[in-house]
Structure 1
Amino acid sequence: MPALTAYSDQPLAHPTPDTPAAERLWLALVALGLLALAVTAAAPAGLREPAFWLGLALLSAGALGWSWWKFGRDAGGVRHDYLWARASTSRGAVAWVTGVALTGFYVVLYWWPEYLENLIRPLDGLSQLLRRRPADQWFLYGTFYTLAVLLMGGRALLKYRHSPYQRVRTASVMFFQLGFAWLLPGVLLALQQPEFYFTYFWPLKYDYLFPGGVQALLQNGHLGAFMVGWGLIMSFVATPVLTYFFGKRWYCSWVCGCGGLAETAGDPYRHLSDKRREAWRYEVSIVYTVLGFIIVTTALLWLNTRLGGALLGRLSDEFSRTYGFVVGALFSGVVGVGFYPLLGSRVWCRYGCPMAAYLGLLQKHFSRFRITTNGGQCISCGNCSNVCEMGIDVKQYAQRGEPIIRAACVGCGLCSTACPRGVLNLENGPREGRYQPSQLIRAESLRILD
């Protein structure tokens, strides 16, 4: 009788295929580009600029060429082949190295930017052209961020070109990142105006409605007043109205830069999102705590301002600095992006973003948006759950034929795109019928048990 072997030691029924030589060539260009950028960080002054631009050129050419080789030669579609077998997408060695590198970059960017001088200085010419001032670490970050969205957006356009919804949605996040998050703020600086991001507003861009932020904007005349008004209207008027009609997808999947990076650069890791009920409990407890903290902080700062500092004194600055460090830098940057290869692409959006929490409450209780399901057609393949980056086990809803109305859902539509049977559909219907009777009974039962 043959000896029993542990399941983990068994070979895959279909072993991971070898990477073709042509694909390796494109990936080698990406690796050489990253190597050139690493060399730039320690290169002497005469070599750093050629090495920097050579690195970006090789990286861009390799990424676009690889995207075309991988997704552009065959029919478009959602492919799950070997995601859990490759070291880069299954929390293997490659994923850990990538995560450590991303995390390290963010840590240096936020707290030791002097070590990035060799990467910053080659951008002086571009910064002078766009902003009329030398580059700094935030211009470097914005340039890298935008390049990542554009390059990986090209990958998404090739991969999902069979879906009109995905094409338009991807083009939208690329447009808003390039035009409104990179070009427009730079042009405003060149015109001696405040560096303002029209696609970010309270509670995500919290300081735009802090007393100090409002006062700084109002010092810039009519344009500053317009910016303050824009922030107020977008936060408290446009956001509820647009969410009522379209759900939170109008922002999280079409406009927001955080979501744009997650949907493009983070797409290879979307299946890593934790779908356990315990993860959902952590999500609810953390994200609404963050929202509550920024609401309380904003209210206290304004009250302190009205009282001439008598309420908090110097503590008012500590409140904003604490939030900026813990949430604005550590959570949204270091963890939110650095942990893509380990925890999935929407860690920040799911667990920490106050804007996502705000939009989620509106979507859950007031919106017309829902994802309808046809349980009779579901074959339980699990493709929908696998691509959900927000940790929703979509298959459970599809099997029961129940509409999906979840505060976390960002309406990316990949569950519908991945479904081979057309079971899932994104709809903006009347509020009547959002819940089926079976779902109402189950929800009421759970409420009583809780």
Structure 2
Amino acid sequence: MSNKLNHSMSLASPDGYGITTTQKIAVALGSVGLFIMILAGVNIDFPNRSLYLTISLLSIVGGVILFSNQAYLTKQEGIQNDGVWFKSISSRGILGWITGIILTAFYIVLYFYPHYLGLTPDGQANTGVISLFDPLSYLLSGNPASQWFVYGTLYTVAILAFGYKFMLKYRHNKYQLLRTGSVMFFQLGFAFLIPEFMARLNGDGFNLPYYDLKNIWPLNYYNFDQYRINDFINSGTLGMALLIFGVASIFIITPILTYKYGKRWYCSWVCGCGGLAETAGDSFRHLSSKKVAAWNIERWLIHTVLVFSVIMTTGLVYSYLSKDASKYWLDADYFLIAVGLFLTLIFAGTMLFKRHELAKDAKYGAIGYAITILALLVLYASDTTDHVFYIKSGTLRSAYGVYIGSLFSGVIGTGFYPILGNRVWCRFGCPMAAILGFQQRLFSRFRITTNGGQCISCGNCSTYCEMGIDVRAYAQKGENIVRSSCVGCGICSAVCPRGVLKLENDSMNGRINSKDVLLGNDVNLMELMNNK
């Protein structure tokens, strides 16, 4: 028996990283499942769709499980850098670009050309891939499948299968196991099964809208559309309870949980977008840009989307309150005044009590506030019957849904995983992340503490930060990490070989300590340590 001798003296091996025979079998098994869907896509008529759908989904899940077992259970626990920058799929190589193109094409077809997937007008039988999912849809909700049911099923399967892979990879870390189990639970139950079961309740005079209970405005920007509000009201006690829960989630539940645990309670433990990014997108987390320029774009872009979402939602609600005032208990003008006063209260309180913590970002906050208030004044002066800001209300809503809800969150946010990293949407576009980040920055007990004396500057933390934070820069100074964009995934702590980083919930005192650390010669060190 002869072995090929590797003469390379490189610490980071330049050789390609292949896959084992078992993993090749796993890839072939998963390909069988995908091939069945491709056959369905070209209108192959399967004699038993339930059987072939089951075979397809089980083949995909089985392939991922088999591949993951071989990849991680044959090694010791802990994180090793297994050449992620030398693998084509995870280093923007040819496989990465091919994967990105395929994902992007799928999202474009899903959002804009669902008839290519087999969606037909109401009353006609589905064809193609969508028809393959009809049996499962009838089983759960009693209705034929739609492109969104197909997407939801594949989305859930991806989180469950790749969640298993993620748990094997990080099996040495209890925090990672718990939060991954959490996102798998919420996706399967709250995002997939419960809404489908709720659809069975619909009937004559009772039309409860599709409702993922964990999706909170402004992430579900459509929740306060007129048709949904009408359906909630017409559905009696249950509908009103869901509507009240949606409002309470925004103003009560979210701030309390963010104060106690930071935005990680949602972004890393509950959210479906974050769940897919953490599981299926884990292999691409190191691709997120750590440049200051990317950080500047992030801060402008995500808050621009938030301002757009606030203005659009306010305008839409105001338009139908004005047009059909007798149907709703809330007066349109009072609603507009309440929104303006609420935003003013938030802005004034922030400037009065937290101005020094925002630093130069306070100027950007003032710009956003001014634009929003100006928009409310324009709204008050416009024709509210059919127009919002002199634009047809349907056009405004449609534009937001296409450019933000579809192109940004779907096509770019997920399709570009292999190119820009796994948290493109969460980092640059999600308005929910913007709100939670604002709350986390200003009044959350959460922070990542650092022990600069133990840092060896290996860079693992910064490399694997999916939100583009240069964690090492904070660790080297012993500075707490309280960035608005931090989702508290804890991977930086999991990959640190020295235990430098720790996720903590503590008092607000000493939480933001950059000045104390940078000007260490000007402070009483014993007093500083006692305060922490």
TM class, shorter-length: over 0.9
The amino acid across from 1:311 in the alignment is T
Cα 1:254/1:280, change in 2 over 3 Å = same
Aligned counterpart in structure 2 of residue 204 of structure 1, from 219, 222, 226: 219
Q: Could you list the per-position Cα deviations for residues 87-125 of structure 1 after superposition, in whole angstroms to 9, with x for gaps in the alignment?
A: 110001101111111111111111111111211112211
Unpaired segments ≥5 residues, structure 1: 1-9, 443-450
What displacement does 1:13 show? 4.3
| Structure-2 residue corresponding to 1:67 | 68
SS at match of 2:502: strand
| Structure-2 residue corresponding to 1:149 | 159
Cα 1:395/1:126, change in 2 over 3 Å = same
1:159 aligns with 2:232: no
| Structure-2 residue corresponding to 1:405 | 482
TM-score, length-scaled by structure 2: 0.78
Aligned counterpart in structure 2 of residue 426 of structure 1, from 488, 499, 503: 503
What displacement does 1:24 show? 1.8
Aligned counterpart in structure 1 of residue 291 of structure 2, from 244, 264, 276: 276
What displacement does 1:40 show? 2.3
SS at match of 2:98: helix
What displacement does 1:290 show? 0.3
Q: Could you list the per-position Cα deviations for residues 163-186 of structure 1 after superposition, in whole angstroms to 9, with x for gaps in the alignment?
A: 110000000000000000000000
SS at match of 2:105: helix
The amino acid across from 1:152 in the alignment is F
1:319 aligns with 2:422: no
The amino acid across from 2:88 in the alignment is A
1:254 aligns with 2:254: no
Number of aligned residues? 433
SS at match of 1:22: helix
- Aligned partners of 2:263 and 2:488 also within 8 Å: yes
Aligned equivalents of 1:252, 1:434: Cα separation in 2: 21
| Structure-2 residue corresponding to 1:104 | 105
Cα 1:221/1:424, change in 2 over 3 Å = same
Aligned equivalents of 2:200, 2:235: Cα separation in 1: 14
Superposition pairs for residues 18-417 of structure 1, below 5 Å? 18-46=18-46, 49=49, 52-117=53-118, 118-192=128-202, 193-308=208-323, 310-311=383-384, 313-314=386-387, 315-417=392-494
What displacement does 1:267 show? 0.4
Cα 1:63/1:19, change in 2 over 3 Å = same
The amino acid across from 1:244 in the alignment is Y
Aligned equivalents of 2:156, 2:139: Cα separation in 1: 17
Aligned equivalents of 2:57, 2:477: Cα separation in 1: 49
Q: Could you list the per-position Cα deviations for residues 138-194 of structure 1 after superposition, in whole angstroms to 9, with x for gaps in the alignment?
A: 110100000000000000111111111000000000000000000000000012133
Cα 1:129/1:406, change in 2 over 3 Å = same
TM-score, length-scaled by structure 1: 0.92
- Aligned partners of 1:103 and 1:338 also within 8 Å: yes
The amino acid across from 1:73 in the alignment is T
Larger deviation: 84-93 or 45-54? 45-54
Aligned equivalents of 1:141, 1:132: Cα separation in 2: 17
What displacement does 1:131 show? 0.1
- Aligned partners of 2:103 and 2:415 also within 8 Å: yes
Aligned equivalents of 1:131, 1:439: Cα separation in 2: 58
Unpaired segments ≥5 residues, structure 2: 1-9, 119-127, 203-207, 325-382, 520-532
What displacement does 1:52 show? 4.4
Cα 1:18/1:333, change in 2 over 3 Å = closer
Larger deviation: 35-44 or 348-357? 35-44
What displacement does 1:379 show? 0.5
Cα 1:206/1:24, change in 2 over 3 Å = same
Aligned equivalents of 1:331, 1:382: Cα separation in 2: 30
What displacement does 1:304 show? 2.3
Aligned equivalents of 2:13, 2:474: Cα separation in 1: 30
Aligned equivalents of 2:133, 2:217: Cα separation in 1: 30
The amino acid across from 2:104 in the alignment is T
Aligned equivalents of 1:35, 1:48: Cα separation in 2: 16
SS at match of 2:468: coil
What displacement does 1:28 show? 2.3
Aligned equivalents of 1:139, 1:307: Cα separation in 2: 35
- Aligned partners of 1:40 and 1:51 also within 8 Å: no
